[in-house]
Amino acid sequence: MTKTASILRLNANDTDFRTQLDALLSRETDTGHDVQSLVANILEDVKQRGDAALCEYTQRFDGWDCTAEKMVISRQDMANAWGRVSEEDRQALTLATDRIRAYHERQLQQDWEFTDAQGLTLGQRITPMDKVGLYVPGGKAAYPSSVLMNAVPAHVAGVETIVMVVPTPAGDINDLVLAAAHISGVQLGFAVGGAQAVAALAYGTATIPAVDKIVGPGNKFVAAAKRQVFGTCGIDMIAGPSEIAIITDGGHPSWLAADFLSQAEHDEAAQSILVSTSAKLLDEVAKHIESHLKNLPREPIARRSVETHGALILADSLKQAAEIINIVAPEHLELAVDDPDALLPDIKHAGAIFLGHFVPEALGDYVAGPNHVLPTNRTARFSSPLGVYDFQKRSSVIRSTREGVKNIGPAAAHLAHREGLQAHALTLELRLGDDA
């Protein structure tokens, strides 16, 4: 008998299905009190002692003799790495960069204003942030694609300074990461990671400048650190383990199984969910999952992910499948059906949606163009993918003539009095007086 991975099987029509689904989705986000407390101590230490604390933590966690000078990754270092990688690497990074830029240029917002009937001119100004920090994961794998997905939209938005931090276990710096930093225009990098790197970006040290916003995914310590520094600076989101959900009513079971595993190989805590209207297809996919697992270099990670957090769900219809997905609110969603456009209007909550049989999630991870920094852990219910808008700010603009303030000022003064704010009212009443 062929062994298959032990993956949870659910039926959407079972009376306790919603209870089972909620239990499946209630993954531990690994930012409990113990993690938060440890991270708080690291943040405060780096805030108080700067580079000295930063290097001590780097030596302890990454295992190399860190100094302020050694942690710096210069533009020349990035250019040298660009020269060392293969021509195929350079072509792939260039293609990805060009496509990511083209997509994100369409997200640029413009200033606008209008004059209303009362004589006030109202508007909005769009301005970029001055300085952002890019956190690039570098623990279990190196992710040059994350450099591109964060740095390119920041450049498109007009950010002046992009600072990259990347953990370097044993002091090894990945050339592909540096090459990606080179082509995407990162101005300055630092070979540090973890909560200590987030602290350095938030508070600044003698070597690392403080930034206005920190973007990019990381492990549970990075997520906890970003949560705690929010307010000192901005953050993009609290990123959790990766996720994929798939709706299918047919298709190639081997393809579907590979897609199911595409996020599982990231992390033991990643989640893969496949919803199908065919019980037979679910059986076939399960067999192919096992077959693919045996050939994956990261098989132990992927197997633990699918056996701990994965699920194959039987639904009566595609409409019911969509209802399930809207509860899941996944980071990545594949609509592996013959007519995905007919199903798309039923999808309300998903970070990125891949339509049809020929667009696996991995295409979006690297070269499609849309951003792969996406909301996880059901936050797609209220969050969006990273984009140019994350690196720009909106300012309200209000201009009024004498006639304008006379038209609407009395109402404002009345409301100010009602709130007990007489000085507010006075500013208006003086302008409404006969000697105005």
Which residues are tagged catalytic? 331-332
Tokens of 359: 């667009």
Which DSSP string corresponds to 223-274? HHHHHHHBTTBEES----S-EEEEEESSS-HHHHHHHHHHHHTT-TT-EEEE
Contact 95, 368 (CB under 8 A): no
Contact 122, 398 (CB under 8 A): yes
Least Cα distance to 196 among 229, 232, 147, 234 occurs for: 229
Instruction: Give the list of residues 6+ apart from residue 297 with CB closer than 8 angstroms, or none.
Output: none
CA–centroid distance for 16 within its chain: 33
State the Cα–Cα distance between residues 95 and 367, nearest whole angstrom. Answer: 7
193 CB-contact burial (10 Å; exposed 0-12 / middle 13-18 / buried 19+): buried
Residue 329 gets the label, from left (phi > 0), alpha (psi -120 to 50) or beta, of left
State the Cα–Cα distance between residues 389 and 371, nearest whole angstrom. Answer: 12
